[in-house]
C-alpha cells in the first residue's frame, strides 16, 4: 500500500505543510521513522524529535508552533493521536485483511455456502455442508471441516485447522496454526494397563468477537460443547481441554493450560504459563498470575491468585519473601537451639 | 449424518415406542439434549429428566416403568449405557473419520504407495518413496515427507507435518498441526560464542496405537530414533526432544516438555506442564504431577513426584503446607529470639 | 539416498577393505547399526563392537590393527570422527534439503520474485510483492504473506506460516508449523469491561543464521519490529510476544515464553519452560534455568537465575534445599517453644 501525503491529509481532514506529493508506505514511531514513513506528534515531550525525524510526514496539531525548521512534510489536524490511531486501524484492515476473492486452487465441498465478499486463499479447504457468513476471510492452507458454521466478518488466518462441527461467531479472529476441535484427551484405562480412547463427539463453540492466538489448541467436548463466550481473548499456544467453558470478556495469556471441564467466569485474567486443574469453577473477575497452578475452585469474585499451588496473591508474596531467606531463618533456629542448650546446662 | 429412530433401533436391536420416523442427527446428555438429539437413561437418578427432556429419542431399559407421559420416542434395549457407548463410537467413526477417496488436488511423489480404502484430503502432500498402509486417512493440508512408513488404520489430521524418514505404526492418531521429526535442538558452541548446528539425521518412530495431540512437537534423533512405544498417548502442545524414548502405555498431558535423551518407562503418567531435564531415566509407573520439574533419574517403580525441583509427592505436600505459613513461622522464630534475649538479661 | 561403499570411500579419500559394491542408505551409531548402515570407530573403547556390529560399513583409522575378523567392509581414513561428521552434514543436506524445483500446484502472487535454485513444494503459498533470495527452500503447505523478504539459503519447512511484511535473513531455518508475525496480544479495556483490539501493524525481523523451532510463535510488533538478531536459536513451542528483541547468539529452549517489549541481550541462555514478564531488559550472557519466572530486569552481565519468582541461582539452590525440609524446621521451632515455656515456669 502506498499513498501520497495529500491523500492521507484528505482522509484526515488535515492541511498539508510541505510537499504533498511525497509517497508514504508505512507507519512508525517518531523516533524510529525512516523515509517513506508517516508518524505523529501528540505529546509535547517528543517535540525535539520533530526536528530530527527521518519520517516523510508527521501528523501534528493545528496549534503547534514550530521553533525550528522541519524537514518532514506536516499534516495539521485537530487531534494527532486519534488521527494516527485511525490510520493504524485503516492500515491493518487494508494491509493484512484487505484481500478479497478466491485464489485457485481453493476447495469447497458439496452443500457448503459462503456469503458475499469473501477471501478464500489458495489451498484453503472448506468441507461439506458448512454455512459461512459474509465478509469472512479464509487465508491460504487453512482447513475447515464438515458442517462448520462461521459468522460474518470472521478472519481465519493461514494454516488454522478447524475440525468438523465447530461453531464460530461473528467478527472472531483465529490466528495461524490454531487448532479448534481436536479430540479431548480422554482414555479409559483397561485391565492390562493399556488405554482405550473414549469417543469425543462434542464440538467447540466460539461466540462473537472471540480471538484465538497462533498455534493455540482447543479440544472438542466429549459430549456437548467446549465454549468460549463473547469477547474473550485467547493468546498463542494456550491449551483449552474438552468441555471447558470460558466466560465473557476473559483474557487468557500465552502458554496457559486449562484442564477438562473447568469453568472460568466473566472478566477473568489468566496470565501466562498458568495451569488450571480439571473440574474447577472460577468466579467472575478472578485473576491468576503468571506460572501459577490452580487446584481448587474459587467462589468469591475478584480474587487474585499466585503460586503453584496457588493461593491468595498477598499471602503468596509474603511467603515468597521469606522463602528467599530460608537459609538465614534456618541459621536463626540453629542459634536458638544452641543458646537454649547452653542455658539448660547446669 | 442423519438417521431415523427406526434405523438406530434396528442397529441396537431395540424396540421403538413412539414415532419411529423422527430424524436424529446428534448425541447428547439427557439434560442438554435438544430436538434432533438422541440420549440415554441408565442411572435411575436421572429418571425425572426423562419426562422433561427435549431430546427426540431416548434409549431406555426394557424394564423401565414409566411414571409419567414422555414426549420423546423411546428405544428400549437391554443395556442403555453400552448401547449409547456403541452409538458414540459409531458416530465418531462416521462423522469424523468416515470420508474415503482422494480429493483433488492431492500430491503423491514418485515411488510412494498407499493401501486400500484411503482418504487423501485436498492439498495433502505425500513425498517420495513412502509406504502407507490400508485404511489410512490423511486430512487436508497434511504434509508427509519422503521415505515415511505409516501403518494400517492410522489417521493423520489436517495440517499435521511429518518429516522425512518417520515411521508410524498401525492405528495411530496424529492430531492437527502436530509436527513429527523436526530437527533436534543441538548446536555446538564456537570459540566466538556463536553456534553451529549439529546435523540431526535420525528419525522418529511411533509404534502401534500411539496418539499425538494437536500442535505437539517431536524432534528426530541426532542419530538413531526418538521412540514412542506402543499405546502411549501424548496430549496437545507437548514437546518431546531428540533421542527421547517413551515406554508403552504412558500418558503425557498437555504442555509437558521432555528434554533430549531422557527415557520414560512403561505405564507412567506425566501430568500437564511438567518439565523433564535431559539424559534422565524414569522407572515404570512413575507419576509426575502437574507443573513439576524433574531433574534426577528415578530408579524405583511407582514413585510419585511433585514440585520444581520435584521430590516425593508426600514430602512436597507437607513442605508446601508450611510454605504457605512461612510468615507465621518467621514470627514464631522472632518471638523465641526476643524471649531468649529477655531471659539472658541478668 | 543410496550409495556404494566405493562411492563413499572416494568422497572421504579412504581405502576400502572388503566388498566395495555393498550399498549404504543410512548412518548409525556402531552399537545400533543394522544392515545398510555405515558407522565409524574413533574411540578405542568401542573397538570390541567393531567385531560384532551389523553395520554394512565402518569408517576406521588407517592405523587400526584388527585383532579379530570383521564382517563389515572397512573404509580406512586419517580421522574417522571428522569423516563421519562430514558424512552427517552431507546426509542432512541431501536427504532433508536436497529437493529443488517447483512442485505443482504451488502459488506465487503477482510482483513476487524468487532467486535461482529454489524448492517450492506443492501447496506452498507466496503472496504478492515478496522478494526471496537464491537457494531458498519452501516446503509443502508453507504460507508466506505479502511483501515478505527472505534471504539466500533460508529453509522454510512444511506448514510454517509467515505473516505479511516479515523480513527473514540469510541461512535461517524456520521449522514446520512455526508462526511468524501473528498479531501481538494487545487489547484496550473498554468501560463496559470488554476489550477492543489494538491494531498491530509492525512486523518481525529475523537476522541471518536464526533458527526457529517447530510450532514456535513470534508476534509482530505493535509498531516497529519484533527482532531476533544474528545467530540466535529458538526451540519448539517458544512464544515471543510483540516488540520483543533478542540479541545475537542467544539460545531459547522449548516452551519458554517472553512477554511484550522485553529485550534479551547477546549470548544469553534461556532454558525450557521459563517465563519472562514484559518490558524487562536482560544483560548479555544472562542464564535463566528451566521453569524460572523472571519479573525484574538484570543489569549485570553473566547472572544465573532460578526459581519462580527467579533470583540468583546459588541462593535459590540453598533456599530450595531448606524448603524440602520445612516440616523438620517447623518441628524444631515447636520444640524450642516448648522448651522455652518449660523454662519460664516457675
User: Look-up: residue for cell 446428534?
Assistant: B26
User: Please, which residues have CB within 8 angstroms of residue B65's CB and are 6 or more apart in sequence?
Assistant: none
Q: Which range of residues forms the domain containing residue B230? A: 101-317
pLDDT of residue C329: 95
Q: Report if residue B322 sits inside a domain.
A: no
Residue among A258, A262, A187 at smallest CA distance from A218: A258
Q: Degrees (nearest 5) of the Cα angle B86, B87, B88?
A: 90
At C184, give phi and psi (nearest 5°): -60, 150
Residues B147 and B88 occupy one common structural domain? no
Instruction: Indicate which CATH number applies to the domain containing C259.
Output: 2.160.10.10
Distance, in Å, from the CA atom of C227 to the CA atom of C217, rounded to the nearest integer, reads 13
Contact status of B314 with chain C (Cβ, < 8 Å): no
Boundary of a domain, candidates B38, B66, B96: B96
**First-residue to last-residue Cα distance in chain A:** 92
| Mean pLDDT over the full length of chain A | 95
User: Look-up: residue for cell 516523510?
Assistant: A56
**First-residue to last-residue Cα distance in chain C:** 92
Distance, in Å, from the CA atom of B67 to the CA atom of B45, rounded to the nearest integer, reads 14
Q: Report if residue C344 sits inside a domain.
A: no
CB A231 within 8 Å of CB C194: yes
pLDDT by 10s per residue, chain C, length 346 = 688 999 999 989 999 999 999 999 889 989 889 999 999 999 888 999 999 999 999 999 999 999 999 999 999 999 999 899 888 888 888 777 888 999 999 999 999 999 999 999 999 999 999 999 999 999 999 999 999 999 999 999 999 999 999 999 999 999 999 999 999 999 999 999 999 998 898 999 999 999 999 999 999 999 899 999 999 999 999 999 999 999 999 999 999 999 999 999 999 999 999 999 999 999 999 999 999 999 999 999 999 999 999 999 999 999 999 999 999 999 999 999 999 888 776 6
Instruction: Tell me whether residue B116 is exposed, middle or buried, using C-beta atoms within 10 angstroms of its C-beta: 0 to 12, 13 to 18, 19 or more.
Output: exposed
Distance, in Å, from the CA atom of B201 to the CA atom of B218, rounded to the nearest integer, reads 14
Chain A residue whose CA is closest to C342: A344
Residues A207 and A288 occupy one common structural domain? yes
Give kind and range of the element (H or E) at residue A273: none
* B195/C253 touch (CB, cutoff 8 Å), yes or no: no
Give kind and range of the element (H or E) at residue B264: strand B263-264
Residue among A149, A216, A222 at smallest CA distance from A184: A222
Q: Report if residue C327 sits inside a domain.
A: no
Chain C residue whose CA is closest to B176: C177
Distance, in Å, from the CA atom of B75 to the CA atom of B53, rounded to the nearest integer, reads 15
Give the Å distances, CA to CA, from C257 to A273, B12, C238, C240, C252: 8, 51, 6, 6, 9
Residue A323 neighbours by CB distance under 10 Å: 21
CA distance C32 to chain A (A): 28
Residues C141, C147, C153, C154, CA torsion sign:
negative
Q: Which of A72-86, A161-175, B117-131 has the lowest mean pLDDT?
A: A72-86
Instruction: Indicate which CATH number applies to the domain containing A15.
Output: 3.40.1390.10
Strand partners, B212: B174, B234
CB B196 within 8 Å of CB B188: yes
Give the Å distances, CA to CA, from B334 to A328, A344, B327, C341: 12, 20, 11, 15
At B338, give phi and psi (nearest 5°): -65, -45
Is the backbone peptide bond immediately before A105 cis, with ω within 30 degrees of 0?
A: yes
CB nearest A326 (choices: C159, C197, C323) = C323
Distance, in Å, from the CA atom of A72 to the CA atom of A67, rounded to the nearest integer, reads 14
Distance, in Å, from the CA atom of A168 to the CA atom of B206, rounded to the nearest integer, reads 34
Assess whether pLDDT exceeds 80 at residue B344.
Answer: no
Residues C107 and C175 occupy one common structural domain? yes
Distance, in Å, from the CA atom of B151 to the CA atom of B156, rounded to the nearest integer, reads 11
Please give the tally of structural domains in chain A: 2
Give kind and range of the element (H or E) at residue A24: strand A23-24
pLDDT of residue B14: 95
Contact status of B103 with chain C (Cβ, < 8 Å): no
CA distance C257 to chain B (A): 12
Chain A residue whose CA is closest to C141: A141
Give, as one character, the DSSP assignment of residue B122.
T
Residue among C52, C22, C51 at smallest CA distance from C38: C22
Instruction: Tell me whether residue B54 is exposed, middle or buried, using C-beta atoms within 10 angstroms of its C-beta: 0 to 12, 13 to 18, 19 or more.
Output: middle
Distance, in Å, from the CA atom of A311 to the CA atom of A322, rounded to the nearest integer, reads 16
Strands A167-168 and A149-150: parallel
Distance, in Å, from the CA atom of A97 to the CA atom of A288, rounded to the nearest integer, reads 33
Chain C residue whose CA is closest to A121: C125
Q: Report if residue C187 sits inside a domain.
A: yes
Residue among C222, C211, C153 at smallest CA distance from C183: C222
Residues B217 and B258 occupy one common structural domain? yes
Chain A residue numbers touching B236 (CB-CB < 8 A): 179, 182, 185, 217, 219, 239
DSSP string, B135-166: T-EE-TT-EE-TT-EE-TT-EE-TT-EE-TT-
Percent of chain A with pLDDT over 70: 99
Percent of chain B with pLDDT over 70: 99
* B211/A217 touch (CB, cutoff 8 Å), yes or no: no
Chain A residue numbers touching B343 (CB-CB < 8 A): 343
Residues of B identified as active-site:
242
Extract the C-alpha cell encoding A321: 519473601
Q: Report if residue A343 sits inside a domain.
A: no
User: Please, which residues have CB within 8 angstroms of residue C7's CB and are 6 or more apart in sequence?
Assistant: none
Contact status of A239 with chain B (Cβ, < 8 Å): yes
Q: How many CB pairs under 8 A join A and B?
A: 179
CA distance B231 to chain A (A): 7
* A340/B340 touch (CB, cutoff 8 Å), yes or no: yes
Contact status of B260 with chain A (Cβ, < 8 Å): no
Q: How many CA atoms lie within 13 A of A86 on its CB side?
A: 12
Extract the C-alpha cell encoding A346: 547446669
DSSP string, B44-68: GGGHHHHTT---SEEEEETTPPPSS
pLDDT of residue A262: 98
Contact status of C339 with chain A (Cβ, < 8 Å): yes
Distance, in Å, from the CA atom of C168 to the CA atom of C179, rounded to the nearest integer, reads 13
Chain A residue numbers touching B27 (CB-CB < 8 A): 201, 223
Q: How many residues does chain B have?
A: 346
Chain A residue numbers touching B231 (CB-CB < 8 A): 194-195
Percent of chain B with pLDDT over 90: 86
Contact status of A103 with chain B (Cβ, < 8 Å): no
Strand partners, C217: C179, C239
* C176/B194 touch (CB, cutoff 8 Å), yes or no: no
Extract the C-alpha cell encoding C162: 509467515
Average pLDDT over residues A121-134: 98
Give, as one character, the DSSP assignment of residue B68.
S
| Mean pLDDT over the full length of chain C | 95
Extract the C-alpha cell encoding A238: 494456550
C191-230 residues touching A, CB cutoff 8 A: 193-195, 197, 199-201, 215, 217, 219, 223-224
Against chain C, the chains showing at least 3 CB pairs within 8 Å are: A, B
- B74-98 tens-digit pLDDT: 999 999 998 998 888 888 887 778 8
Residues B81, B84, B85, B86, CA torsion sign:
positive
Residues C217 and C106 occupy one common structural domain? yes
pLDDT of residue C341: 86
Q: Report if residue A38 sits inside a domain.
A: yes
Residues B180 and B48 occupy one common structural domain? no
| Mean pLDDT over the full length of chain B | 95
Residues C128 and C78 occupy one common structural domain? no
Average pLDDT over residues B159-179: 98
Residue B223 neighbours by CB distance under 10 Å: 24
Q: Report if residue C65 sits inside a domain.
A: yes
Q: Degrees (nearest 5) of the Cα angle C73, C74, C78?
A: 165
Distance, in Å, from the CA atom of C216 to the CA atom of A180, rounded to the nearest integer, reads 18
Residues B288 and B305 occupy one common structural domain? yes
Q: Report if residue B276 sits inside a domain.
A: yes
Strands A263-264 and A281-282: parallel
- C130-141 tens-digit pLDDT: 999 999 999 999
CB nearest C236 (choices: B105, B182, B223) = B182
Residues A220 and A82 occupy one common structural domain? no
Extract the C-alpha cell encoding C99: 529437493
**CA dihedral of residues A319, A320, A321, A323 (deg, nearest 10):** 90
pLDDT band at B13 (very low <50, low <70, confident <90, very high): very high
Assess whether pLDDT exceeds 90 at residue B282.
Answer: yes
Assess whether pLDDT exceeds 70 at residue B310.
Answer: yes
Helices then strands, each counted (H, E), chain B: 5, 40
Extract the C-alpha cell encoding B67: 411414571
Residues B34 and B155 occupy one common structural domain? no
Boundary of a domain, candidates C96, C131, C166: C96
Residues C119 and C133 occupy one common structural domain? yes
Q: How many CA atoms lie within 13 A of C331 on its CB side?
A: 6
Residues C146 and C38 occupy one common structural domain? no
What predicted TM-score, i.e. pTM, was given to this entire model? 0.93
Chain B residue whose CA is closest to A338: B340
CA distance B292 to chain C (A): 9
Boundary of a domain, candidates B37, B63, B96: B96
Catalytic site includes residue A279 = no
- A243-295 tens-digit pLDDT: 999 999 999 999 999 999 999 999 999 999 999 999 999 999 999 999 999 99
Q: Per-residue b/e over B19-32, b at no fewer than 16 CB within 10 Å?
A: ebebebebbbbbeb
Amino acid at each position: 500500500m502506498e499513498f501520497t501525503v495529500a491523500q492521507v491529509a484528505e482522509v484526515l481532514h488535515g492541511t498539508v505543510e510541505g510537499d504533498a506529493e511525497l509517497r508514504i508506505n508505512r507507519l512508525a514511531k517518531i523516533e524510529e521513522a525512516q523515509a517513506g514513513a508517516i508518524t505523529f506528534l501528540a505529546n509535547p515531550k517528543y517535540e525535539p524529535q520533530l526536528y530530527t525525524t527521518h519520517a516523510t510526514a508527521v501528523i501534528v496539531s493545528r496549534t503547534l508552533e514550530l521553533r525550528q525548521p522541519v524537514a518532514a512534510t506536516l499534516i495539521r489536524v485537530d487531534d494527532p493521536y486519534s488521527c494516527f490511531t485511525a490510520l493504524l486501524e485503516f492500515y491493518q484492515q487494508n494491509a493484512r485483511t484487505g484481500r478479497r476473492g478466491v485464489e485457485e486452487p481453493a476447495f469447497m465441498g458439496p452443500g457448503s455456502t459462503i456469503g458475499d465478499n469473501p477471501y478464500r486463499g489458495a489451498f484453503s479447504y472448506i468441507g461439506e455442508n458448512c454455512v459461512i457468513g459474509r465478509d469472512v476471510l479464509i487465508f491460504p492452507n487453512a482447513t475447515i471441516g464438515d458442517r462448520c458454521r462461521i459468522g460474518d466478518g470472521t478472519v481465519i488466518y493461514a494454516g488454522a485447522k478447524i475440525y468438523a462441527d465447530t461453531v464460530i461467531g461473528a467478527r472472531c479472529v483465529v490466528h495461524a496454526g490454531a487448532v479448534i476441535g481436536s479430540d479431548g484427551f480422554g482414555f479409559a484405562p483397561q485391565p492390562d494397563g493399556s488405554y482405550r480412547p473414549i469417543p469425543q463427539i462434542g464440538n467447540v463453540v466460539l461466540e462473537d468477537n472471540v480471538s484465538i492466538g497462533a498455534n493455540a489448541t482447543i479440544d472438542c467436548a466429549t459430549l456437548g460443547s467446549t465454549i468460549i463466550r463473547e469477547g474473550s481473548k485467547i493468546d498463542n499456544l494456550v491449551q483449552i481441554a474438552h468441555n471447558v467453558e470460558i466466560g465473557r470478556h476473559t483474557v487468557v495469556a500465552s502458554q496457559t493450560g486449562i484442564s477438562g471441564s473447568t469453568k472460568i467466569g466473566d472478566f477473568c485474567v489468566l496470565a501466562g504459563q498458568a495451569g488450571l486443574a480439571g473440574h474447577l469453577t472460577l468466579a467472575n473477575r478472578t485473576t491468576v498470575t503468571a506460572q501459577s497452578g490452580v487446584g481448587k475452585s474459587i467462589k468469591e469474585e475478584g480474587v487474585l491468585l499466585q503460586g503453584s499451588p496457588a493461593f491468595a496473591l498477598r499471602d503468596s508474596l509474603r511467603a515468597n519473601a521469606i522463602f528467599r531467606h530460608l537459609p538465614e531463618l534456618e541459621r536463626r533456629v540453629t542459634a536458638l537451639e544452641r543458646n537454649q542448650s547452653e542455658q539448660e546446662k547446669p
